[in-house]
Amino acid sequence: MSLESSENSFDRAGISVVIPVYRSEKVLPILIGRLESVLRKTASNFELVLVNDCSPDRSWEVISDLAARHSWIHAIDLMRNFGQHNALLCGIRAAQFDTIVTMDDDLQHPPEEIPKLLDILTRLDCDVAYGTPERVQHGLMRNLATLVTKLALRTVIDAKVVRDVSAFRAFRSQVATAFGNYEAPFVSIDVLLTWGTSRFGSIRVRHEPRQEGASGYTLRKLASHTMNLVTGFSALPLRIASLMGLLFSLLGLGVLCYVLGRFLLLGDTVPGFPFLASIVAIFSGAQLFAIGIIGEYLARMHFRSLQMPPYVIRAITGAHRVRNNPIEPSSR
């Protein structure tokens, strides 16, 4: 079923909070307690969609127990670790209400800040509201990797939006119709949101230290996500390769003019093997760089032709359904 033809329950006024879960068995009960207190004061209709991204600890057991004790909690268990953005896409498609809030599972995004995001949606009449951290509570390498990711995002979306991008966001469910049929394995929720609207807002929110464990986002994973962003949603690398080809063609023409001019004016040629070897190395490197960029784009096309799903669901608690789900999982 597509998002355009969603069920009546999907159109009800309310708040759906979507949280991808990975290695968070100890903090989940605390998170749920704080969330419930905030949501009961904020909306008459609300739900929490927890997406277990094949966490290696007991997160799914904890989620299942919480869902059994709270009717407003729905849980989805993925078959393998697909990544944060893929898990978010799954949860967004499961959301029933017209306002969707996404946040991390490690309590670095305080639930008490959710009303600020909802206020921005209403007061600024925007479609997406980001909770930009007042002070980021990450390590040096994670901060550096995040900066590189935001620089990559600037090649895809507006620079003003990139400045405020955060995993703590609220948006209207209508925006999700823009990527209702998206099925590629590489997902960036922030890029997909720009497919549906240009009305973004932001507000400063608290960003608290991680209470348990370490982030699952390693430098290698962030670098991979950055590469997927640049080559999966932007043609900038191809333009860079074309520009390099033009510049090196001009360089080659300059070298040719230099060689011919020296021969005509001085009557000799450019001496030495090092000069020739340097020119060959420069041009060979430029060609390999351009071929590598083209290869990245061909690889993206190849993966899309394989029709690899962005996620596969193992189980869903209760009778909750996921729109545009590639399979029909067994319910628990």
- Mean pLDDT along residues 94-123: 94
The CA-CA-CA angle for residues 181, 187, 189, to 5°, reads: 85
Distance CA 194, CA 234 (A): 13
Does position 8 have pLDDT exceeding 50, yes or no?
no
Distance CA 38, CA 322 (A): 25
- DSSP for 102-137? E--SSSSS-GGGHHHHHHHHHHTT-SEEEEEESS--
Portion of the chain with pLDDT greater than 90, in percent: 39
CB hemisphere CA count around 316 (13 angstroms): 18
The CA-CA-CA angle for residues 292, 297, 303, to 5°, reads: 120
Task: Give the CA distances from residue 138 to residues 30, 37, 161, in Å, rounded to whole numbers and listed in that order.
Answer: 21, 27, 21
Q: What is the pLDDT of residues 116-175, one digit of tens each?
A: 999 999 999 899 999 988 876 555 555 666 666 666 666 666 656 777 788 899 999 999
Distance CA 101, CA 15 (A): 7
Distance CA 153, CA 151 (A): 5
Q: Output 279 or 31, whichever has higher pLDDT.
A: 31
163: left (phi over 0), alpha (psi -120 to 50) or beta: alpha
Distance CA 108, CA 123 (A): 25
318: left (phi over 0), alpha (psi -120 to 50) or beta: left
pLDDT band at 213 (very low <50, low <70, confident <90, very high): low
Q: Output 255 or 187, whichever has higher pLDDT.
A: 187
User: pTM of the prediction?
Assistant: 0.75
- DSSP for 250-302? HHHHHHHHHHHHHHHHHS-----HHHHHHHHHHHHHHHHHHHHHHHHHHHHHH
